[in-house]
Amino acid sequence: MKKLYSIAFALLVLLLLIQPSTLSAHSSGGEEVPTWFWKKERDNRQQPDDIPQPEGGPELVERIKRPVSNIILQQRYPEIVVLRGSTEENRVALTFDDGPDPRFTPQLLDVLKENDVKATFFLMGARAAAYPELVQRIVDEGHIIGNHTYWHPNLVEVGDIATLETEVQRTEDTLAEIVGYRTKLFRAPYGFLFNELVERLGEMDYTVVGWSVDSLDWQEDPPNIIAYNVLSNTQPGSIILMHDGGDWTSDRTGTIQAVQQIIPSLQEQGIEFVTVPELLNIPYQK
């Protein structure tokens, strides 16, 4: 009997040791891929030569710094900062940052088109200038665009109102030249702002759009984990943060595959996908 207990205990320990490394990940054929393999794929990527890179660095490095909470900023500046819509209507908004990225934005647009879902894209000015055809496609397919600065600096680290003004205005000029209107929506790189920056954005007639659900796709977990992050936290009125672009080491394939899970799952619950201006009943252009 003691021998049987020893064998059972050994098997239990072995199972516990194996389990963390075999969390299900992405796969085109439905079989599970270990998380360690997913991470190894990311580490082996080649750097693209022509995609403008975020000046402030990758999300994986910056987002852990956590400066002033957007919840506090929204409470201080309720007329400028928005984080979610009304809980009275069964609607949510998908939002995507850091594009347009020629590696991933077209694939994401294909998924949204197939599902007849409209989203809101916060675009880097430098990338919009490099890929104006992608900006035009986003607008032509019924999505809304917003300002995400030109070079994606960490505005809190820079701490300079003049830098904010230059980044925002240059992006605005770029976007207006492509699509013919000036957006009223702004989202800060990494979501990082402080009081004076918010006040200046209000003076510049922007609505600062945050989020209430973070997909954490910037951590590049497998797609079903990204989908779980969204599905387990979404409720009526949610603004969902995701990314269609990133620095050269980033891979948004998991995001695209997660969106393919998120859309039908929420629609089955009777939830409608709308753009941020529709969700909040605010204008999207000046």
Instruction: Please list, in sequence order, all residues whose beta carbon lies within 8 angstroms of the beta carbon of residue 194, skipping any fewer than 6 positions away.
Output: 67, 68, 73, 156, 159
Q: Is 26 a catalytic residue?
A: no
The answer to whether the CB of 148 falls within 8 A of the CB of 171 is yes
Instruction: Please list, in sequence order, all residues whose beta carbon lies within 8 angstroms of the beta carbon of residue 196, skipping any fewer than 6 positions away.
Output: 161
Q: Is 143 a catalytic residue?
A: no
Q: How far apart are CA 143 and CA 123, in angstroms?
A: 12
Helices (H), the chain: 2-18, 35-43, 59-62, 70-76, 105-114, 125-130, 132-140, 155-158, 161-179, 195-203, 223-231, 253-267, 276-280
Do β-strands 144-147 and 120-123 pair in parallel, antiparallel, or remain unpaired?
parallel
The catalytic residue among 101, 148, 243, 247 is 243
The catalytic residue among 26, 97, 152, 221 is 97
CA angle at 54 for the pair 157 and 104, rounded to the nearest 5°: 145
**Does the CA dihedral 72-76-79-85 come out positive or negative?**
positive
Active site residues: 97, 243
